[in-house]
């Protein structure tokens, strides 16, 4: 059976592509299983320094496969929580390259990535309440991104909003003209590859965890972490490369 998600590796970037355009890349059980497999590959592949999640067709992801959800034994959860966790906890930076519109569950994928770049014509909506259901699972990553007032506005109304607004409220990193989409994604990927792999993984956790720490405890823990990183093998290599005016090993090995 043909996979609904494809993988590619080039220049240190692992690209994972949703490829089910006939149903607008809906989150069917089969697509989710394939996506989990491809993400697991990207995370394990030593040559992959950055992961890009994208899709084919005009829609990035339309959310849950409603045909499946009509069945009595509908796979309501399937492997979606695991996929959100793989993206959120990934030690490798993840860029979501939206090829177009996203709805409902698809926005959970967007919010679970570190970066999200979309073309200006793309539109977004949390449509769950209009179907009599709720944005339950996706709220876990999405509410960590969205401005609280915006979350109330769009979760409760189901109103469609554009890419500029999505960037304004924290759902997207950037909204760019369509002709600039690939160049913008490549720009971010290129910058990320310059970072030390261990440093990137630790910094991802730092961004998440430090705001929850009491001020003095945060300073104590970060003082210890700073000392550890300056004396680490990767830190020493980065400092040596700076003084010797050469790329560090993790950059020059590409």
Q: Within this chain, do residues 46 and 145 fall inside the same structural domain, yes or no?
A: yes
Q: CA-to-CA distance for 53 and 102, rounded, in angstroms?
A: 13
Q: CA-to-CA distance for 182 and 201, rounded, in angstroms?
A: 24
Residue 151 sits in a domain of what CATH number? 3.90.226.10
Q: Within this chain, do residues 160 and 247 fall inside the same structural domain, yes or no?
A: no
Q: CA-to-CA distance for 89 and 40, rounded, in angstroms?
A: 12
Of the residues 147, 170, 192, the one at which a domain ends? 192
In a structure prediction context, what are the per-residue pLDDT tens digits for the chain, which is 254 residues long?
789 999 999 999 999 999 999 999 999 989 999 999 999 999 999 999 999 999 999 999 999 888 877 765 666 566 899 999 999 999 999 999 999 999 999 999 999 999 999 999 999 999 999 999 999 999 999 999 999 999 999 999 999 999 999 999 999 999 999 999 999 999 999 999 999 999 999 999 999 999 999 999 999 999 999 999 999 999 999 999 999 999 999 985 55
- CB neighbours of 156 closer than 8 A, spacing ≥ 6? 129
- Considering just the CA atoms, what is the radius of gyration of the chain in Å? 19
**What domain range is 25 assigned to?**
5-192
Q: CA-to-CA distance for 49 and 31, rounded, in angstroms?
A: 24
- CB neighbours of 41 closer than 8 A, spacing ≥ 6? 7, 14
Residue 79, helix vs strand vs coil: coil
Q: Within this chain, do residues 144 and 241 fall inside the same structural domain, yes or no?
A: no
Of the residues 177, 192, 207, the one at which a domain ends? 192
Q: Within this chain, do residues 27 and 53 fall inside the same structural domain, yes or no?
A: yes
Q: Within this chain, do residues 107 and 141 fall inside the same structural domain, yes or no?
A: yes
Q: Within this chain, do residues 206 and 142 fall inside the same structural domain, yes or no?
A: no
Q: Within this chain, do residues 224 and 121 fall inside the same structural domain, yes or no?
A: no
């Amino acid at each position: 059976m043909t996979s609904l998600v494809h993988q590619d590796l080039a220049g240190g970037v692992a690209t994972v592509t949703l490829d089910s355009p006939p149903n607008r890349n809906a989150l069917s059980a089969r697509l989710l299983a394939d996506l989990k497999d491809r993400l697991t590959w990207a995370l394990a592949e030593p040559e992959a320094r950055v992961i890009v999640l994208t899709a084919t067709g005009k829609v990035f992801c339309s959310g849950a496969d409603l045909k499946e959800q009509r069945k009595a034994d509908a796979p309501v959860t399937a492997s979606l929580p695991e996929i959100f966790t793989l993206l959120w906890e990934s030690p490798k930076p993840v860029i979501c390259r939206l090829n177009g519109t996203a709805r409902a569950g698809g926005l959970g994928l967007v919010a679970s990535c570190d970066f999200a770049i979309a073309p200006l014509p793309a539109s977004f909506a949390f449509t769950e309440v209009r179907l009599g259901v709720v944005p339950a699972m996706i709220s876990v990553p999405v509410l960590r991104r969205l401005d609280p007032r915006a979350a109330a506005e769009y979760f409760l109304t189901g109103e469609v909003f554009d890419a500029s607004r999505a960037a304004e409220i924290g759902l997207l990193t950037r909204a760019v003209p369509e002709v600039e989409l690939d160049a913008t994604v490549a720009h971010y990927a290129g910058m990320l590859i310059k970072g030390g792999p261990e440093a990137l993984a630790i910094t991802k956790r730092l961004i998440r965890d430090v705001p929850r720490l009491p001020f003095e405890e945060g300073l104590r823990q970060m003082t210890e972490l700073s000392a550890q990183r300056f004396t680490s093998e990767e830190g020493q290599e980065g400092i040596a490369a700076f003084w010797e005016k050469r790329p560090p090993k993790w950059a020059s090995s590409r």
